[in-house]
Amino acid sequence: MNQSVSSPAASAQDVRAHPAHIEYVLRLGDSALILGQRLAEWCGHGPMLEEDIALTNVSLDLVGQARLLLAHAGQLEGLGRDEDALAFLRDEGHFRNWTIVELPHGDGRHDDYAFTIVRNLMVAALMVPWWTALAQSSDTTLAAIGGKSVKEAQAHLRHASQWTVRFGDGTVVSHARAQAALERLWPYANEWWQTDAIEQHAAQAGIGPLAADLRAAWDATLDAVLAEATLKRPATTGFISQGKAGQHSEHLGYVLAEMQSLARKHPGATW
């Protein structure tokens, strides 16, 4: 659903950013938003009170990051869409999040905490070097967001690492579930390492790094945590998901239905 609000004439926003620049920011913003929404699903359902609070706090950080990123994307776009319009009034084909963040927690029938934790580990291990690189972005707003968010990603990585070790090096059951979660999630990392024209433009313009260039740092973090957790690193497969290009799994629509229904039912409502 595109809003066609024209920006005021002769404003700075009339100088539209390069489409690839907007897409690059949208990918980061949408990925933070959808993972934040997924983690919020644990609110009131966490396996223990402390973890219920932990996940909602991580979710809050991610939604905070998403808000800043989507507000910035709206500014770059210059069509008068704010962060709420981008979050609540777009349909799934317009979302640019990586497929990994939209997957349900487990097999879709039973929520699996190991799946939530392993996904958080994989994402946070990427976001720490990503935000660190973005802190040097030629886009000063993105640099400010990066400098702020890296601290939060470090905390998310610490939390996910601790629980991955507990699960992997825990009981036979927790080990098996953590390993199974890792096997299911691993193929979705391929989407990050697949560079396309949008990322190439962003890297050349100094806007942000190629995810592929962060792979060595990601591998090192994952290998260290998996070794401590006595988990086995899965083999890399050929499957490449396409969420960042707007081609999503069957799961995103359900996430959006829950996230957007209230805002769409009461347009412009405030509290």
Partner 1 sequence: MSLVADPLLEQVHALAGAVPDPEIPVVTLSDLGILRSVTREHEQIVVTLTPTYTGCPATEVIRDDVQRALMQAGLHGVQVRLTLSPPWTTDWISIAGRAKLRDYGIAPPARAAQAQQAQVLQFVSREQWRAGAVPKQVDTPPADTLAKTEGPACPQCGAVQVECVSEYGSTPCKALYRCLKCREPFDYFKPY
What residue ranges bind partner 1 (CB under 8 A)? 50-51, 53-54, 57-58, 60-65, 67-68, 128, 140, 143-145, 147-149, 151-152, 154-155, 157-159, 161-162, 165-166, 224-225, 228
Question: Is residue 192 left, alpha or beta, with left meaning phi > 0 and alpha meaning psi from -120 to 50?
Answer: alpha
Three-class DSSP category at 209: coil
Q: How far is the CB of 145 from partner 1 (least distance, A)?
A: 6
List beta partners, residue 106. 111
Q: How far is the CB of 149 from partner 1 (least distance, A)?
A: 6
Q: How far is the CB of 59 from partner 1 (least distance, A)?
A: 8
- 54 vs 259 by CB, closer to partner 1: 54
- 41 vs 242 by CB, closer to partner 1: 41
Cβ(100)–Cβ(119) below 8 Å? yes
- 127 vs 198 by CB, closer to partner 1: 127
Q: How far is the CB of 263 from partner 1 (least distance, A)?
A: 18
- CB contact set of 29 (below 8 Å; sequence gap of 6+): 65, 66, 68, 69, 70, 72, 73, 86
Q: How far is the CB of 6 from partner 1 (least distance, A)?
A: 27
As a whole number of angstroms, the distance between CA 269 and CA 271 comes to: 7
- 61 vs 102 by CB, closer to partner 1: 61
Cβ(150)–Cβ(124) below 8 Å? no
Nearest to 238 by CA among 195, 181, 178, 194: 194
Cβ(251)–Cβ(245) below 8 Å? no
As a whole number of angstroms, the distance between CA 61 and CA 222 comes to: 22
Q: How far is the CB of 15 from partner 1 (least distance, A)?
A: 22
- 5 vs 224 by CB, closer to partner 1: 224
Q: Which two tokens stand for residue 45?
A: 């359902």
- 228 vs 246 by CB, closer to partner 1: 228
